[in-house]
Chains A and B, each alone.
Chain A
Amino acid sequence: MKKFVFGLIILITLSVGYSAPTVSADDGPYLDQIAKGNELYANKKYDAAARIYESLIAGGIQNGFLYYNLGNAYFRQGKIGFAVLNYLHARKWLPRDEALEANLNYAIQETVDQLDWRQPGLFKTFFFWMDDFNLVEHLRILLIANLVFWLSMVAWWYYRSPAWNMARKVTLVLLITTVLSTGTYYYLLNHSKTGVVLVKSLDIKSATNVDNVTLFKLNEGAVVFIKKKTTDWVEIELADGKKGWAPREFIGY
């Protein structure tokens, strides 16, 4: 009975922890669309390819490679702002993809402002690994840390040795750290938005009105951090602390 329960726990955790996203028969229609988009892209019909990728995303499909291909399609059209925006979207799903990282950095190098997309912050310094995993991976790590902690608790309960006592304390610290980093990641994912300037040049105003003072200018592809949103305006902040307001339609996020 005990072995059965243990087996069940490990099976559930690992099945959730290690299940990689795979295509199924239901995915057939949209995969055809992706293949078609790729075909158009290969034939240098970047605009048409981008439209197909966009329609899939609008239909609810969320996939890092889809955003990556869309970024490439925009880049080929010279739309650096949209390219950077979609690379940043792709990075949420593919945080360690080298090709994506290279394309994103290259696209940013091509912008006038060349602003760093990495959002600074105390949390990111403390949980330095946070940006190297996507949400699902964070949750998987959390599950494994949770399983390891409770297994060490069982072992300690059974053996009551100093070694297992130390092991459960260490795994508890590990679990707490993982909970905090996953929670922080989830919070930042939902509350801290990165935006990209989508127009050639954009005046950043002191308040939400075009008649207000222009504080500074940003160019296409500049990466900004969105602090507040109103119906028509967004408050943006740069890594160096500069703040201002921009019309919402010109900032992609």
Chain B
Amino acid sequence: MIGNHTTTSNLNKPIKSKIQKKIFPLLCFFILFLLAPEVYSQDLGITASVDKTELSLQDSIKLSITVSGVQNSPGLELPPLPDFRTQSTGTSSSVQIINRNMQASVTQTFRLTPTREGTFVIGSVKTQFKGNTYATDPITVVVKKGAAVNAKDSSIFAKAGISNKQPYVNEQVVFKIKLFRKIEARNLDIRMSYDNFRKEDLGKGGEHNQVINGIQYRVYEQSVALFPTRPGVLEIPSAILELDVVYRDRPNIPTDPYSFFKNDPFFGSVPRSEHKVLRTDPIRARVRPFPEQGKPDDFSGLVGHFNMTATLGKQTVEVGDSATLTVKITGEGNIKDAAAPDLKLPEDFKIYPDQPEFKQTTQGQKISGEKIFRFALVPLQAGQMTLPSLDFIYLDPEKVTYTNAKTKPIILQITPSGKKEEFKMVRPNVSDEGEPQKSVKIIGKDIFPIHTRLMDFADQRLTTGKKWLFLLGFIVPPLGFMFSAYYIQHRQRMKYDLAFSRNREAYKQAQNKLTQLSSDGKNDPREFVKALSQIVREYIGNKLNLQGTAFTAREVESKLREQRFMGDHAEATRRLLEKFEAFQFSSPTSNNAQTSRLLDESLTLLKKLEKQV
């Protein structure tokens, strides 16, 4: 131990001095850096550079803008780059001290991903500093289409497809993008554009393995639901997948004893990443118009499979009161486009439509859902009214037929109003002077009338009594659980723990048997005492979990003492058992008085023993 301690201390010394040596200049540099003026040289300059001037659509350019002479970037003004997707990839700064002159610069880098082929000019990047404008020289880059990526010779490629190349307008098609890779990839970003289509997400993408030409690929798959919005030959443009491909350089030195550490990223083997841009082929879909044959005038424009139901909140309503009519359209397809149904109600109703409620779900790769329309209906006339059935027509793309979804008619009983407020179209009128007037002006909208059912006017306050009742309602269930838990546990123990159940049942059994013995009225005193002795022995056997009843009085006393029964009780038990034995072998002249004394003695002893338990 001492040796180890010494070694450690010795090792610490050079380490500490090394750290101090390194930290000191760093600290000085940091202080100088903080105290240094913002501009280190009057010659502020800005330069732009790219890592390549010729690239394919599968590549991206690294554009570096370096502003020298400043510590912090003064803010860059990038030129418009409509043919590139621009991403900032970071900022770095450097400070150099050469011959006591400090030179600082800030470099900001951008990743430019071309969106089409051609020759483009990256215009001047500008910056403003102290009233002066500084600009970089323009850079010309050439973007070529690049070789098509072949699945056979590429370690990473992407494909896209649609489920139906001849859908109807508004019919759902599934557009699927697959990324095949044999190598590690990170930071995947997929961009898709769908002019002439409405897009709905089908959830997150998933990964699986697939073997193509004997090569196993890891395949990332993402699907979206598309609804064509017009007929004709429509093109889904290329999807652009940007990602960083990770290459791990493994040192091919099998004899190297440290190869394990070198391969482990923790020990210094830094993976190399390369930014890649993949494009899928554009896809053409021939979108068919709605079939003209049998097309009704009131076709809803919905394509898929749908149902419609209508329910009324109340079947009976007073004049002036409201009842809620709920119309629910469910099914698969472009349900989002479902319009509110025309209620076709007589003028005896005022209708207050609510905002529709829409819930969308995805089942498999199908978009389904429900759209709920609610209307508050206020009848103005008493009597029985039938709300006519509602319907809408949709196109079933599989059967290529127009189908009618219909609800059932609903009968509504409208009772006359009691003493209700006159139901008028009114609003408060405000004079130009700003003072409210008492008169009202009819404009066509109104508030609902006052509530008149007196039984609803009970005081709703939370009274002290009710508070206690709530408290009780909260406390009683856990107490009930505690009681039940104890009861259940006790029952289980009685069922499975024989010693416990014998112990608990011993006294009850003995009492029953003693009662039966007394009522039997055996004439032979010796037989009586024999039975009495048996009952007491059984009781003791049950209490002490002993097998059988063939134990001597001395053994019983010893067992009782072992079980921490009081010495007096143990002794009394022994004496009683000895009396039983003596009685059984005594002369047959024994009388009933003796037997009843023994019975009383037995009862008293059992009670004493039971109490002690």
- Which of B50-58, B392-400, B457-465, B515-523 touches A? B457-465
**8 Å CB interface, B570-604 against A:** none
Q: Chain A contacts of B322 at CB under 8 A? A: 98-99, 102
A109 CB, nearest partner CB in chain B, Å:
9
B374 CB, nearest partner CB in chain A, Å:
9
Contact of A12 among B454, B472, B488 (CB under 8 A): B472
- Which of A115-123, A142-150, A210-218, A245-253 touches B? A142-150
Q: Is A194 located at the chain interface by the 8 A CB criterion?
A: no
- Which of A72-80, A223-231, A233-241 touches B? A72-80
B476 touches A12 (CB 8 A): yes
B121 CB, nearest partner CB in chain A, Å:
45
B434 touches A34 (CB 8 A): no
Q: With A76-B428, A110-B428 as known contacts, state yes or no: A9 contacts B450, CB within 8 Å.
A: no
Q: How far is the CA of A147 from the CA of B476 in the complex (A)?
A: 9
Q: How far is the CA of A184 from the CA of B526 in the complex (A)?
A: 79
A96 CB, nearest partner CB in chain B, Å:
11
Contact of B454 among A16, A35, A75 (CB under 8 A): A35
Q: How far is the CA of A78 from the CA of B447 in the complex (A)?
A: 12
Q: Chain B contacts of A63 at CB under 8 A? A: 456-460
Q: Is B451 located at the chain interface by the 8 A CB criterion?
A: yes
Q: Chain B contacts of A143 at CB under 8 A? A: 470, 473-474
B459 touches A42 (CB 8 A): no
Q: Give A1-26 as 1s and 0s: 1 = Cβ < 8 Å from B's Cβ atoms.
A: 11001101100110111000111100
Q: With A41-B421, A106-B445, A153-B481 as known contacts, state yes or no: A72 contacts B450, CB within 8 Å.
A: yes
What is the total number of residues of chain B having a CB less than 8 Å from a CB of chain A? 53
Q: Give A145-159 as 1s and 0s: 1 = Cβ < 8 Å from B's Cβ atoms.
A: 011011101100110
Q: Is B449 located at the chain interface by the 8 A CB criterion?
A: yes
Q: Is B483 located at the chain interface by the 8 A CB criterion?
A: yes
Q: Is A232 located at the chain interface by the 8 A CB criterion?
A: no
B447 touches A106 (CB 8 A): yes
What is the total number of residues of chain A having a CB less than 8 Å from a CB of chain B? 67
Contact of B451 among A30, A69, A98 (CB under 8 A): A69
B460 touches A64 (CB 8 A): yes
Q: Is A164 located at the chain interface by the 8 A CB criterion?
A: no
Q: Is A135 located at the chain interface by the 8 A CB criterion?
A: yes
Q: Chain A contacts of B455 at CB under 8 A? A: 22-23
Q: Chain B contacts of A167 at CB under 8 A? A: none
- Which of B22-30, B186-194, B222-230, B436-444 touches A? B436-444
A151 touches B477 (CB 8 A): yes
Q: How far is the CA of A21 from the CA of B454 in the complex (A)?
A: 12
A13 touches B454 (CB 8 A): no
Q: How far is the CA of A8 from the CA of B118 in the complex (A)?
A: 84
A22 touches B462 (CB 8 A): no
Q: Chain A contacts of B456 at CB under 8 A? A: 63, 65
Q: Chain B contacts of A185 at CB under 8 A? A: none
B477 touches A13 (CB 8 A): yes
B428 touches A77 (CB 8 A): yes
Q: Is B139 located at the chain interface by the 8 A CB criterion?
A: no
Q: Chain A contacts of B452 at CB under 8 A? A: 38
B488 touches A158 (CB 8 A): yes
B457 touches A65 (CB 8 A): yes
Q: With A35-B454, A69-B450, A78-B437 as known contacts, state yes or no: A42 contacts B419, CB within 8 Å.
A: yes
Q: With A39-B419, A72-B449, A102-B448 as known contacts, state yes or no: A157 contacts B485, CB within 8 Å.
A: yes
Q: Give B411-439 as 1s and 0s: 1 = Cβ < 8 Å from A's Cβ atoms.
A: 00000000111100011111000111110
Q: Is A173 located at the chain interface by the 8 A CB criterion?
A: no
B483 touches A5 (CB 8 A): yes
Q: Chain B contacts of A60 at CB under 8 A? A: 459, 461
Q: Is B480 located at the chain interface by the 8 A CB criterion?
A: yes
Q: Chain A contacts of B422 at CB under 8 A? A: 42
B421 touches A201 (CB 8 A): no
Considering only CB atoms, which chain B residue lies closest to A134 in the complex? Answer: B460
Q: Chain A contacts of B376 at CB under 8 A? A: 98, 102
Q: Chain B contacts of A149 at CB under 8 A? A: 477
Q: Chain B contacts of A110 at CB under 8 A? A: 427-428
Q: Chain B contacts of A170 at CB under 8 A? A: none
Q: Chain A contacts of B488 at CB under 8 A? A: 154, 157-158
Q: Is B484 located at the chain interface by the 8 A CB criterion?
A: yes
- 16 A–B contact pairs at CB < 8 A? A1-B487, A9-B480, A31-B454, A60-B459, A73-B450, A78-B437, A78-B440, A80-B428, A98-B376, A146-B473, A146-B477, A149-B477, A157-B484, A157-B485, A158-B488, A201-B434
Can you name 18 extra interface pairs (CB under 8 A) apart from A5-B480, A65-B456, A77-B428? A13-B473, A17-B473, A22-B455, A31-B457, A42-B422, A65-B457, A69-B450, A72-B449, A75-B428, A78-B428, A99-B321, A106-B446, A106-B447, A142-B474, A149-B477, A153-B481, A154-B484, A157-B488
